[in-house]
Amino acid sequence: MSVYSYTYSSAYSPAAPVVDVIVYSPGSPENNVGLSLLLDSGADVTVLPVRVLNRIDAEYLETAILYGVAGGRTRVDVYRVALQLGPHTVNAVHVVGVLSTSNIVLGRDVLNQLSVTLNGPANMTEIEG
């Protein structure tokens, strides 16, 4: 079994786990965008920039209400994408589109489908494949 390793990002303080993913519209893997996403086990859903979702022609699904950690509510658009992390492809992921590029995260909707190890002392994330 292969292990894919990613170094924590020092852009966060303290350093935080990030992984490189390829995002594309299911059925169109040739039209893709690479992103580095913060792993967030506290987030129910994966959050991606709207500009990326538009670029890959992601399928719009619906407008929904997103509840924040502090209890706030925000209307968001939901899209369907496929994500590739190393050898893993997760199809038909429902993601939230946001205008910002600074708060993009890989949430539990994807993390719960993978074997992920966070090694804080080594500043490494490992995904078994």
User: What are the pLDDT digits (tens) for 12-37?
Assistant: 999 999 999 999 999 899 999 999 99
Q: Number of helices (H) and strands (E) in the chain: give both, helices first.
A: 2, 10
Domain tally, the chain: 1
Residue at 35 is within a domain: yes
pLDDT in tens, 75-91: 999 999 999 998 889 99
Check: pTM over 0.85? Answer yes or no: yes
pLDDT at 52: 97
Residue at 41 is within a domain: yes
Residue at 78 is within a domain: yes
State the first-to-last Cα distance of the chain, in angstroms, to the nearest integer.
Answer: 6
Total number of residues shown for the chain: 129
pLDDT at 87: 85
Q: Is the pLDDT of residue 129 over 80?
A: no
Give the torsion through C-alpha atoms of 108, 113, 114, 120, to 10 deg.
20
Instruction: Print the domain residue range for 48.
Output: 19-113
CATH at 40:
2.40.70.10
Residue at 75 is within a domain: yes
pLDDT at 101: 81
Residue at 94 is within a domain: yes
pLDDT > 70 in the chain, percent:
98
Q: Output the six-digit token pair for 7.
A: 């170094």
Residue at 32 is within a domain: yes
Residue at 57 is within a domain: yes
Q: Output the six-digit token pair for 72.
A: 């706030």
pLDDT in tens, 34-60: 999 999 999 999 999 999 999 999 999
102 Cβ partners below 8 Å, 6+ apart?
none
Residue at 96 is within a domain: yes
